[in-house]
Amino acid sequence: MGRMLIRCLPFLFAALLAACTTAPVAQYQNPIIHADYSDPDAIRVGDMYYLVSSSFNNAPGLPLLQSPDMVNWTLVGHALPQLVPLEVFAKPQHGKGVWAPCLRYHDGKFWIFYPDPDFGIYVMTATSFAGPWSAPHLLAAGKGLIDPTPLWDDDGQAYLLHAWARSRAGFANVLTLRRMAPDGSRLLDDAGKIIINGDKLSRYTTLEGPKFYKRDGYYYVFAPAGGVETGWQSVFRSRSIDGPYEDRIVMAQGGSPVNGPHQGAWVQTPQGEDWFIHFQDKRAYGRVVHLQPMTWRDGWPLIGEDIGAAAGQPVARYRLPVTGQAAAAPPSSDEFNGSTLGLQWQWNANWQPSWYALGDGRLRLFAQPRTGNLWDVPSLLLQKLPAETFTVETRLDAAGLAEGGVAGLVMYGSDYAWLGTRRLDGRTQLALVSCYKADAACHEQQEAGVALPSSQVWLRMRVIAGGVTNFSYSVDGKTYTPIGAQFTAKMGRWVGAQMGLFSAGPTGHADIDYFHVTP
């Protein structure tokens, strides 16, 4: 027995060595983008993945992201420089504008179909994903038409499926199929046909956000239902494009901490693996982006972790779809050293070139007039919250402010708070200001304030879990002094809270040296 054990030791040692030296499987962690890229749609062209999302009233709109692996995403531009009609969106139109878009690649070009619930469904095209994109073409005019998704069938016929917004149309929870010219120039019928009616299905409410696909002779409609914060992902299938359709819930929260996992895109790798990109609503942080594995069983997809039911549940971690790619994420910091603003910045409405200037390594924000709080000010320079916890620092020089002017760093939503400077009686003062229920015309209240020894001040904002925000300031760029009480960030209308910069007043300007964001 002893000799046998001795003879076996080299083999045992080799097996143990192999087990210990096997490389761990590279994994990603959800959410893959902890920022408000709402209602994402994604496709693959070649070896690259592309993603677009809602942008509502912010301009530029329709952010464009690309990734080599569906995990590490780079923001490469915006498809919509200004919202149309231009005059309507010259003022903030909170919760309006660009709702859930659909991205496709067909006939050698990229297509975006996007809805404006007050005007209709627009279509844009580009030969290069980063642009330039064609001007929006109004494909279908009307109120309440939302969430369009096209399908070019094998026989050359083209179709458009869309949902409805109850707030404009007076009804919802149904999906309507329209015939469309293959070049996307017009619809070929007058009203279309309801092919999926959520009112006739048990438990279905708020059926919307469809995405149209075809596989193995079946027409598939991936569509969420149940509401933004508490819903689930369903799939409908039929052998005929106009139905009847069977339905199945293919992903729900289950035992995971991910509420309302739904609305997104089925994407396939070149090797034939299936994945699903969707959002989770996190209130102040907006609708953050998740990636789920997807498998097929008996002609039905199962999304997420298999828990022994028809519906999967979201995974927290999983193996990377593609390995060996560099880490990437949408930008947040800006040194203001270039000739253009960083791609992360969006304005609160259609923007004017006269609002700002770049030069000498700084951003100059020209004060714009306002008559009330910041809710209806178009010239706010904003971006998405980039993580659950982070710190923002900026240096502001208020020497150029006119009497009565204000400028500063803002955490913006239907409640907001800003830390910045006031010019009063020829002196520069620091002020922490809050406004609760900004969308209901609240009046700003100064929570704290101090006199400043000069026009230059360093401002800091620290955000922790739940959007809890603490402000502090420095007069030398080294020692920071806390100011005021904690403020809890609050979402806007259909969007998460946003952070950024502003300058308001009769005339004058404020200069900002940088905007640094650290995780």
Q: Which residues are catalytic?
A: 39, 208
Give the count of beta carbons closer than 10 Å to the beta carbon of residue 347: 23
Return phi, psi of residue 387, to 5°: -165, 170
Q: How many Å apart are CA 222 and CA 277, to the nearest integer?
A: 12
Q: Which two tokens stand for residue 339?
A: 């000739």
Question: Could you give the count of Cα atoms lying within 13 Å of 246 in the half-sphere of its Cβ?
Answer: 8
The DSSP secondary-structure symbol of 16 reads: H
* Residue 384: strand, helix, or coil: strand
Let me know the angle formed at the C-alpha of 389 by 383 and 393, rounded to the nearest 5 degrees.
60
Strand partners, 131: none
Question: Could you give the count of Cα atoms lying within 13 Å of 111 in the half-sphere of its Cβ?
Answer: 22
Distances (CA, A) of 78 to 99, 130, 338: 15, 8, 18
Q: Please check whether residue 328 is in contact with residue 322, taking contact to mean a CB–CB distance below 8 angstroms.
A: no
Return phi, psi of residue 397, to 5°: -115, 115
Q: What is the CA radius of gyration of the chain?
A: 26
Q: How far from chain centre, in Å, is Cα 72?
A: 15
Query: What would the DSSP string read from start to end of 295-315?
Result: EEETTEEEESB--SSSSBB--
Q: Please check whether residue 211 is in contact with residue 102, taking contact to mean a CB–CB distance below 8 angstroms.
A: yes
Residue with tokens 């040692």: 13
Strand partners, 221: 212, 236
